[in-house]
Amino acid sequence: MARSRKVEQPEACKLVRVLGESVKPGEHVTLDMQVAKLYTRTSVEIPVVVHRAKQDGPTLMIMAAVHGDEVGGIEIVRRILVELQHRSLERGTLIAIPVLNVFGFLAMQRELPDGRDLNRYFPGSAKGSLASRLAHMLVREVLPAADVVIDLHAGGASRMNYPQLRYTKGDERALELARMFDPPVILRSNTIAGSLRHHMFCHEKPYLLYESGASKQFDDHTIQEGTRGVTRVLEGLDMWGGPKDTPRGAAELMRSKWVRANYSGLLETTIPNGAYVSKGIILGHINDPYGTSLHHVRAPFAGRILCLNTSPVVNQGDALFHIGRE
């Protein structure tokens, strides 16, 4: 009778390939993504930082400034990279892109120099517009290495988002990771065609969108919640050992709606961001500059304030309060 003998096979090392470079266990590299030069002939590099632990594990990617003026996320990525100088990864790989849209960041604007919103051009193409080319390079050269993506965003001009994570219905792994991140609010929302979230959902890769604060601003609450959340995911995936703080439990909201201005005028907000509101409660007033009219803005349903319009002046139809419902 033939005897089988079990042979100890060394565990195959996971291949981590970013921008055509193979990153080996224990390596820490900064790679440059090059998409286009400026019209000054200055070449533009988009740094991609890769930290790989000696031990295999999941690959988490964190990225910020898909919209060039959303600076809060850049600070969150920076703080994680600083922490990595003292606390190396125990397992897996972290890919960090502090500033994806370097072109927009230089001009402190949301879009690329051609006015296009990068987050409407995924998966992109090699011969398309600048937005399309940048999306294409990220999709082809970086994203295949990532198992999970956390994308850090902020509200547009005069829109102050309360710290929240958004995930797509049906992306159960993302919901699990969102609970690990433990932000104040988790919101289920639909994807927009051409967005990175839509692309990731179609490719069945978990993706979390962190929406917090406003563009062109450093907001302490945004930065603290974001840094804590990313840290918690790194710890939850056993990429970082050490302290795991106690989860507070996020409010999980299933849908949301904007309350819009029925009148034009000066906006006075009377409710704090993140507040729970009951139906009919006054959220603010719209006054005219002459002291002759005052209109109440009331909550059309009970829910939680997810975003405030901080503009002093609003026009009829402007989005004022984003309210999430349980």
Q: Segment 45-104, which members bind Zn ion (CB under 5 A)?
A: 67, 70
Positions 211 through 270 that interact with Zn ion (CB under 5 A): none
Nearer to Zn ion, 153 or 198 (CB): 153
Provide the angle, in degrees to the nearest 10, between the axes of the packed helices 220-236 and 72-86. Answer: 50
Q: Does 159 bind Zn ion (CB under 5 A)?
A: no
Q: Which range touches Zn ion (CB under 5 A), out of 89-97, 132-140, 149-157, 244-252?
A: 149-157
Q: Which C-beta is closer to Zn ion: that of 48 or that of 152?
A: 152
Smallest separation, CB 155 to Zn ion (Å): 8
Residue 214 beta carbon to Zn ion: minimum distance, rounded to whole angstroms: 11
Residue type, 124: G
Nearer to Zn ion, 287 or 310 (CB): 310
64 vs 137, which CB is nearer to Zn ion?
64
For the bound state, the minimum distance from the C-beta of residue 107 to Zn ion, rounded and expressed in Å, comes to: 15
Between the alpha carbon of residue 161 and those of residues 158, 192, 285, the distances in Å are: 10, 19, 20
Of 128, 138, 108, whose CA–CA distance to 48 is shortest?
138
- Residue pair 59/93 in contact (Cβ under 8 Å)? The answer is yes
E strand or H helix that includes residue 221: helix 220-236
* 3-class secondary-structure state, position 132: helix
Pick one of 51, 116, 153, 197: the residue that binds Zn ion (CB under 5 A).
Answer: 153
- The letter for the amino acid at 25 is P
- Least distance to Zn ion, CB of residue 210, Å: 10
Residue 64: CB minimum distance to Zn ion, A: 9
* Non-local CB neighbours of 1 within 8 Å, separated by 6+ positions: none
Q: Which amino acid is at 213?
A: G
> Which positions lie near Zn ion, rule CB under 5 A?
67, 70, 153
